[in-house]
Amino acid sequence: MTAIESQSHLSPPKCCPICGGRLDYSGHEPSGHPVCADCGRPCYLDPKVCACVLIEDQGRVLLALRSEGRPEAGRWNLPGGFVDRGESVEAAAAREVREEVGLEVELGGLVGVFSYPDDPVVAIVYAARVKAGRLGPGGETDEVAWFEPAHIPWDLLAFQTTGDALKKYFAIG
């Protein structure tokens, strides 16, 4: 099972969101989107937008260890998560940092927007610095730690985005 398949909210839907009919994935629609076998509407499978935050302090970056039961458990990632519909990406980034590591941050510039073929996730990564709060792991995090660039656990990162954002930010590789 891949990381994507293990995340049920990222699995392609079986039913039409409008009428509940069965979705036909046989590819008759030129766009490649499935079509409802009952009402005939195409179902647009949009990407999932993820807001992530690269928090730097004195040259070190904050990483969070994903807790048991989550996809990629036991691996390190940047604090972040999915943006809710109607929520600004910046607000989602700040909320996820608060929930996962207990800090209030001031967002800085955009590190980058990261997306990959056949991956439904589009990750928007901001740089940030700590404003307030008390550092500690939240509900979906087992541990939080600061890493010097030379000590980033490259083999234990959760996602391609995590490594690509860190390399871009610290101009590594």
Per-residue contact string for residues 16-55; x = within reach of Zn ion by CB under 5 A: x-xx-x--------------x-xx----------------
Give, for 113, the enclosing helix (H) or strand (E): strand 103-114
Give the interface size with Zn ion as a residue count (CB under 5 A).
Answer: 7
Q: Write down the residue that tokens 């929520």 correspond to.
A: 87
Compute the distance between CA of residue 15 and CA of residue 19 in angstroms, rounded to an integer: 8
Compute the distance between CA of residue 113 and CA of residue 52 in angstroms, rounded to an integer: 10
Q: Retrieve residue 29's tokens.
A: 């629609």
In angstroms, give the least distance from the CB of 130 to Zn ion.
48
Q: Is the Cβ of residue 12 or residue 136 nearer to Zn ion in the bound state?
A: 12
Interface with Zn ion, residue 15, by CB under 5 A: no
**Active-site choice (29, 106, 143, 148):** 143
Chain residues in the site for Zn ion (CB under 5 A): 16, 18-19, 21, 36, 38-39
Catalytic positions are: 143
